[in-house]
Structure 1
Amino acid sequence: MRRPMIAGNWKMNTDLASGTELAKGLASHVAGKDSSVDVLVCPPFPYLQAIKEAVGDSGISVGAQNCYFEESGAFTGEVSVDMLQDIGCDWVILGHSERRHVLGECDGTINKKTKAAIAKGLGVVLCVGELLEEREADKTGEVLDTQMKGGLADVSEADLSKIIIAYEPVWAIGTGKTASPEQADEAHAHLRKWLSSNYSESAAEAMRILYGGSVKPSNAEELLGQPYVDGSLVGGASLTVDNFGPIIDAGRTK
């Protein structure tokens, strides 16, 4: 049985006060409840340490939204894996569609970052997903295969245990549109088949695959009820306890 994860990507939102308040609210929300679901929050870089302190010993993990693949040096504006771990980060999101399509990251760069993170023991949430025109052209599987092959190049089967895949159809991110539960499960099944073909059936069975794309309290339980969906990577709905809390609770129904 794969352990579900509910992850919140705060993107470029919150300030120190509101982020700290949100983190404390989430810590209170999970207090005293069963620990059958992993909870992860990924605030902006400047607030990582404060949020780590705010969640305390609640069991909520803290991750970053990006990292760089070099350990140190003249890379203005970049943040290394060591720096993230130094302030207590457990995870990093890599390959998010906004990094790919807004900031121009390619599979090769994402792969370098992935290998740098797992080499140091930092968990990776590796994002993949197709554009609307790619889905309409019936190229979803082809796009996912390319992103998986590129992002996981030279990653051993043993190191897959440090990685979670997040399927995020780009057309459903921040648009209010959501893939149907059947569409989400079909894409997750495709990703699991790719893992089975390129690694092993046991690796495919063990991999946690999250769904992201306009997840909210009203659709979380149905999405999470799909057999191949192991959790959610949540954007806008992760910015309030009133929205993110019920999604966490829905994860306990897996």
Structure 2
Amino acid sequence: MRKKIVAGNWKMNLSLDEAKNLNEEINVALGKNENKCDVYNFIPSIYLTSLIEKDQEVVIGAQNGYPDKNGAFTGEISMNQLAEIGANAVLIGHSERRQLFNESDDLLKRKVDSAIGEELKVFFCCGETLEQRESGNYKEIVIEQLSNSLFHLAINDFEKVVIAYEPIWAIGTGVTASPDQANEMHKGIREAIAHAYSQEIAENTSILYGGSCKPSNANELLTQTDIDGGLIGGASLNSRDFLAIISTYN
């Protein structure tokens, strides 16, 4: 049975003290309950060594990593370096990396391979722009992203991947895909996985929704048949909001 997951993406936010306080608030609250979902936070890399601790409730991951193990890549942090400092997971292919930093499917494929090689859990993002949504080809576009960067993996490696569908037109805009729209795409992704691997693999792959999910709409989104959790942006920066979303599965 596939896992339910709620993951926060802090992006480039918070001071170190704010980050420590937020992480502590979430851990303390989760420690008081028997949680029915896994909880991750993808935090600025500069804070990883300060927030990664043993035996805490929240799994800490990085928002990005570079595929080469070492070399003349000023400003980059390798997957190997992330693993060495204790990161457990990495976010790959977020729409902001694709759009603002022009990351190609080929580069993302290399990042996936490198992360898997370092035994980091991969949270792979995919999604379409508003123009692509309106073209009517949005499902094919998203599946092509998966095919180009993920579906080359061997079965045992693909099983280490979580997929996050993020409609780009619903990120930071206040617009949210309807539950039916979101679930339709999740079903399409699951069908593509079944075609690339097997129905069993598809049924055991967690697929998260990542588009303006907040406490007010979390229940109707995260309880859809093919939505297994959320990749949460702005709401993950507030412990009360983030915990409210997590409570959808309690």
User: When the two structures are superposed, what TM-score results if normalisation uses the length of structure 2?
Assistant: 0.98
C-alpha deviations, 1:103-162, integer Å up to 9, x for none?
A: 100100000000110112100000000000111111111111110111115211111111
Structure 1 segments unaligned to the other structure (5+ residues): none
Separation in 2, partners of 1:251, 1:101:
32
C-alpha deviations, 1:40-77, integer Å up to 9, x for none?
A: 00110111111214xx5232100000001111111111
Q: Structure 1 residues 146-155 or 107-116, which shifts more?
A: 146-155
Q: Is the 8 A contact 1:66 1:93 kept in 2?
A: yes
Aligned to 1:76: 74
Aligned to 2:57: 59
Aligned to 2:198: 200
C-alpha deviations, 1:179-220, integer Å up to 9, x for none?
A: 111111000000000001111111111110000010100111
Aligned to 2:228: 230
Q: Is the 8 A contact 1:71 1:81 kept in 2?
A: yes
Q: Is the 8 A contact 1:30 1:58 kept in 2?
A: no
- Of 168, 171, 174, 2:169 maps to 171
Aligned to 1:187: 185
Equivalent residue of 2:181, what SS? helix
Q: Is the 8 A contact 2:151 2:196 kept in 1?
A: no
- Number of positions where the alignment pairs a residue of Structure 1 with one of Structure 2: 250
Runs of 4 or more above 6 Å deviation: none
1:4-83 to 2 correspondences below 5 Å: 4-53=4-53, 56-83=54-81
Aligned to 2:241: 243
Separation in 2, partners of 1:182, 1:5:
20
Separation in 2, partners of 1:144, 1:154:
16
Q: Structure 1 residues 16-25 or 137-146, which shifts more?
A: 137-146
Equivalent residue of 2:154, what SS? coil
Q: Is the 8 A contact 2:162 2:207 kept in 1?
A: yes
Equivalent residue of 1:130, what SS? coil
Equivalent residue of 2:52, what SS? helix
Equivalent residue of 2:72, what SS? coil
Aligned to 1:108: 106
Structure 2 segments unaligned to the other structure (5+ residues): none
Separation in 1, partners of 2:151, 2:140:
16
One-letter amino acid of the counterpart of residue 176, structure 2: T
Q: Is the 8 A contact 1:130 1:144 kept in 2?
A: yes
Separation in 1, partners of 2:196, 2:75:
35
C-alpha deviations, 1:19-57, integer Å up to 9, x for none?
A: 00000010111012113210000110111111214xx52
Q: Is the 8 A contact 1:27 1:58 kept in 2?
A: yes
Q: Is the 8 A contact 1:94 1:126 kept in 2?
A: yes
Q: Is the 8 A contact 1:43 1:51 kept in 2?
A: no
Q: Displacement, 1:93?
A: 0.3
Separation in 2, partners of 1:117, 1:160:
12
After superposition, the CA RMSD in angstroms is: 1.0
Separation in 2, partners of 1:213, 1:151:
21
Q: Displacement, 1:251?
A: 3.0
User: When the two structures are superposed, what TM-score results if normalisation uses the length of structure 1?
Assistant: 0.96
One-letter amino acid of the counterpart of residue 159, structure 2: S
Separation in 1, partners of 2:209, 2:151:
22
One-letter amino acid of the counterpart of residue 218, structure 1: S
Separation in 1, partners of 2:156, 2:52:
28
- % identical equivalent positions: 44
Aligned to 2:158: 160
